[in-house]
Amino acid sequence: MIPDPHQPLIDELDVLLEKERDALVHGKLDILPDLLEQKEGLIDALNEIDGLEALQLQPLRGKVLRNQALLDGALRGIRTVANRFSTLRKIRRTLETYDDQGRKSALVAKHDNKLEKRA
């Protein structure tokens, strides 16, 4: 059997997808941009190969889909935290009450971040 000359590229992408999964699972989001750059380079190199069979890349498809699901989950988590922080900031600035007619009213506190000097 003749070894496939493209297999080293496929193997390198396979290892990179495992690194990406590890980063996503362990919350190492800071290394994702570097991994993405490497992944794009490998995918571009694979796209330039004539005669590459889809069957050769099939094992990578599942890993790509798995990593995409992990990335989507991480993004949802980040958005949830950002929304929660936004809500907490709003709560600190506003006191919402109801009057005797059941109408909601909000008291917005001015909060100046100034340093006060005292003698």
pLDDT of residue 111: 58
- Which distant-in-sequence residues (6+ apart) come within 8 Å of 108 by Cβ? 93, 94
- DSSP letter for 84, please: H
Nearest-5° angle of CA 22, CA 28, CA 30? 130
pLDDT band, very low/low/confident/very high, at 108 (cuts 50, 70, 90) = confident
Alpha helices in the chain (DSSP H): 7-25, 32-47, 54-93
Q: With 80 as the cut, is the pLDDT of residue 64 above it?
A: yes
pLDDT band, very low/low/confident/very high, at 37 (cuts 50, 70, 90) = very high
> Could you read off the pLDDT of 65-75 as tens digits, one per residue?
999 999 999 99
Q: With 70 as the cut, is the pLDDT of residue 44 above it?
A: yes
* pTM reported for the whole predicted model: 0.69
pLDDT of residue 47: 86
Q: With 90 as the cut, is the pLDDT of residue 14 above it?
A: yes
Tell me how far the alpha carbon of residue 97 is from its chain's centroid. Answer: 38
